[in-house]
Amino acid sequence: MPGKTEKLLSILKLQPVVPVLIVEDVRSAVPLARALVAGGLRAIEITMRTPAALEAIRAVADEVEGAYAGAGTILNPAHFEAAEKAGSTFIVSPGVTRPLIEAARQSEVPLLPGAATASEVMTLRDEGYEVLKFFPAEQAGGAAYLKSLASPLAGTLFCPTGGISLKIAPDYLSAPNVVCVGGSWVAPKEMVASGDWAGITRLAAEAFALRK
């Protein structure tokens, strides 16, 4: 696990914000990823919420120089295996199950598992996980809640995701137990649909400037 933890941290520490994307049309995946990378956001989470997701991950992994394509919304071992085969460099889940932990244990691709309570964090710590996704961040208690976990659960780092915007991201990034945040605001649906890649690069650069 230590090796995979370091691998995951080396990706998450590239930037303060990891874009969380829902890709509807695979043709937009490569130009979208290139626009994000141009703005400094190299680690990109493509969620498994659309039929285009796996092909989008594969395209970004194969064609976008400097990008680290990750897969999000991984719910089971079949998702994990498919995302790994598509070229994911990291895998993100909203929560965790025993079968998912077993699938992750057998893979070299690091898992960022989701947790929302102290008990869930403790359970994952027992499995060797030191870096977790805090989800859904705003709905589960926000930055204040996450900061309150820093002392009793010292040594655990989080990437909070869910309801985070440019305005409130600094609240999370100021927490001692936060390594980065996940956000969808850097790639608004209307900008992707219109192909406003320059606009997305500007939003990415704005997010990158939040560096801790």
For the cut 90, the answer to whether the pLDDT of residue 1 exceeds it is no
Torsion of CA 70, 76, 81, 84, to 10 degrees: 10
Which of 4, 6, 45, 102 is an active site residue?
A: 45
Q: Does residue 30 lie in a domain region?
A: yes
Distance (Å, whole) CA 121 – CA 177: 13
Q: Does residue 80 lie in a domain region?
A: yes
In this predicted structure, what is the pLDDT of residue 2? 72
CB 50 within 8 A of CB 76: no
Torsion of CA 168, 53, 130, 153, to 10 degrees: 40
What residue numbers bound the domain in which 88 lies? 2-205
pTM: 0.96
Q: Does residue 201 lie in a domain region?
A: yes
In this predicted structure, what is the pLDDT of residue 211? 86
Smallest CA-to-CA distance from 207 within 9, 91, 36, 33 is with 36
Q: Does residue 57 lie in a domain region?
A: yes
Q: Does residue 175 lie in a domain region?
A: yes
Distance (Å, whole) CA 42 – CA 172: 20
In this predicted structure, what is the pLDDT of residue 212? 64
**Total H helices, total E strands in the chain:** 10, 9
Token pair, residue 61, equals 């992994």
The string of pLDDT tens digits covering residues 77-129 is: 999 999 999 999 999 999 999 999 999 999 999 999 999 999 999 999 999 99
Active site residue 65: no
Which of 4, 130, 133, 138 is an active site residue?
A: 133
Q: Which 3 state secondary structure label does DSSP give 34? A: helix
Distance (Å, whole) CA 28 – CA 14: 23
How many separate domains does the chain show? 1
Q: Does residue 212 lie in a domain region?
A: no
CB 133 within 8 A of CB 113: yes
Active site residue 45: yes
CATH at 35: 3.20.20.70
The string of pLDDT tens digits covering residues 17-63 is: 999 999 999 999 999 999 999 999 999 999 999 999 999 999 999 99
The string of pLDDT tens digits covering residues 156-207 is: 999 999 999 999 999 999 999 999 999 999 999 999 999 999 999 999 999 9
CB 179 within 8 A of CB 131: yes
Q: Does residue 192 lie in a domain region?
A: yes
Q: Does residue 211 lie in a domain region?
A: no
